[in-house]
Chains A and B, each alone.
Chain A
């Protein structure tokens, strides 16, 4: 059974590459080095092996990628784009696309994205978060929603069925928490930041019916936010040590090292958890959409064209070509071949026989199911990072016990939000 499957997937892969080679024939006229500021991603590292291909395609241009971790990348892109503008291409994300677009730091992508590269092939959820004010600003390099990832062996041993509702989830987390055995019920994110603790808190807030703003009036300071925070803090009692001030790395590290029973995290976790090279629990992992009523945190990171470093149309076109090539079907096919699950964004790749062969039908089904509950949980505004980061600090204070009054924290955020809106006008 395996051989015909492999044959089909190899043919599909060859077809994708041949599409790429056809594209190669349409050479542009670019020169110099396209400078990219990004955060570390296996998919981008893989691109560096194919520099000569881009040189041929662009008519002589090369590229150079500088990497910074997520928080530093956000700070540095903001500083660079607003001042000297040294980078031709920025790695931006759902949280700051509104800021970059409204400040005029990046150019509308579709004006410079060659039609041959088929932008419409990207996952619709990722296209949605790359769009602000009716225009597309970046081409996805990673993205998705949330999945509840659990240890099948631990749940079976405890006689617990994979939870479908939040109440079941909380009960399971409490039951599975056995610190004396070195197993913790869950792992959350406590580290401050709109993309850290706030990111994991928002599915509770939105799931309970909360909203950030009504027009320009903050409306988040209500019972939904209080309930979301209480639930989040309750779950933190069963969260792995280190996660109280930790982010994605700490939560994922605790799970893949076998110390966590179940958690709700962004979809790339699955790729890491089922890979024996990066996970001690590979083969024992199950995944389902987040328990109801939690929404999935829809997100997307991608490459955008910097305005300052690309002074003329020709430079913008070259930057657009680089982005199109970097996120092309053929490069995604290479990422699939290299088993880089979290770097896959195109529908044609995620529905390909090769994908099914590598990851099985369950994961494809889980991704399809979680797509139905994936939502944009954050406030889509240029001021979002500012507001989200401020809530992140208050939330971290609540998690670590520096403050205990949830309502007082939300009231403080409400005052900050009003000031933020006033300042922006």
Chain B
């Protein structure tokens, strides 16, 4: 019995050891240098306590980045799930199984595209002079449509690309989940003259609650890593209208200032905020 009990530890120890080195060491180092005033051009730094953290809260770009990041999370997660569920149900209800398979294949293409490639493709598509996506507007009104240069529309336009990649992919997952549900509850509801929307709202979706929550979590984590998409399409602009926290931290660390301690303090705050938020949401869901 004793030998059997020690087996998990034998398998877990190397993996946990590697994880500790790969994850904990950089994290601990980031926390350490966040209390310093190190810059890339000056390798020596002094401990300055919480000065970087205090400075962050009087930094308008940091405050703006918090707002942009929260908006980005809410819009991309919400819209992705909405489109996934809507499209998944539409495919399940209205499309023959044969066509479904073909559409499933097509819906997988956007997510297979590397993020940077998708960003470039859409950046050109949204170009006000040559873009295929803006061409109909230009043809009808005679005026160019510059969505990525307009602070009011830039974030939504980039979010559209994110939703295009993930919403279609999640729609395929929702479709496959619907196909796995037992038909009896649906038949019973139809016998009781339930309308189609009622069948999905009160039977199908509640039955899919657990996988849908998992999808929401996956998308929340994925949306936090949208750096490449935003970087290619707008670089945080116009101005700072699409500058998320990770982009601002990268700018401070490597593009503009080389203030790696200041950038690290942002990264540490992001890590703490994300951990608390996810733990809270996870517990609420459970």
A residues sitting closer than 8 Å to B (CB atoms) are: 71, 74-76, 78-79, 82-83, 99, 102-103, 179-180, 190-192, 240-242, 244-245, 254, 257, 259, 382, 385-386, 389-390, 393-394, 396-397, 399-403, 423
Q: Decide if A400 touches B237 in the complex (CB within 8 Å).
A: yes
Taking a contact as CB atoms under 8 Å apart, the answer to whether A190 and B149 are in contact is: yes
* Residues 222-260 of chain B, each 1 if its beta carbon lies under 8 Å from chain A, else 0: 000000000000111111110000000011001111100
Q: How far is the CA of A350 from the CA of B22 in the complex (A)?
A: 54
Max chain A C-beta neighbours (<10 A), residue from B37, B39, B41, B250: B41
Task: Kindly list chain A residues whose C-beta atoms are within 8 Å of the C-beta of B241.
Answer: 400, 402
Closest to A385 in B: B256
**Are A244 and B146 closer than 8 Å at their CB atoms?**
yes
Asked if B128 and A241 sit within 8 Å, CB to CB, the answer is yes
Choice from A79, A83, A245, A390 contacting B237 with Cβ under 8 Å: A245
- Per the CB 8 Å criterion, the residue count for chain B at the interface is 34
Interface residues of B in 249-285 (CB under 8 A from A): 250-251, 254-258
Question: What's the dominant secondary structure at chain A's contact region?
Answer: helix
Query: 9 shortest A-B CB distances, which residue pairs?
Result: A397-B239, A400-B238, A241-B128, A241-B144, A82-B40, A103-B41, A244-B149, A389-B256, A402-B239
Instruction: Tell whether, in the assembled complex, residue A245 and residue B148 are in contact, meaning their CB atoms are under 8 Å apart.
Output: yes
How far apart are the CA atoms of A99 and B238 in the complex, in Å? 27
| Distance of A329 from chain B, by nearest CB (Å) | 35
Q: Complex formed: what's the CA distance from A82 to B41 in Å? A: 7
Q: How far, in Å, is A304 (CB) from chain B's closest CB?
A: 15
Given contacts A180-B142, A242-B149, A382-B41, contact A396 B254 (CB under 8 A): no
* A410–B213 CA distance with the chains assembled, in angstroms: 48
Interface pair B239/A396, CB less than 8 Å apart:
yes
Q: How far is the CA of A179 from the CA of B258 in the complex (A)?
A: 42
A247 CB to nearest chain B CB (Å) = 10
Which chain B residues border A102 with CB–CB below 8 Å?
A: 41
A383 CB to closest chain B CB, in angstroms?
9
- Cα(A394)–Cα(B237), bound, Å: 11
**Distance, CA A180 to CA B258, complexed state (A):** 45
Give bound CA distance, A83 to B41, whole Å. 10
Q: Apart from A102-B41, A244-B238, A396-B238, what are 4 other A-B pairs with CB-CB below 8 Å?
A: A75-B250, A242-B128, A259-B129, A423-B37
Within 8 A of A (CB), among B92-142: 127-130, 142
Which of B40, B149, B257 is in CB contact (< 8 Å) with A245? B149
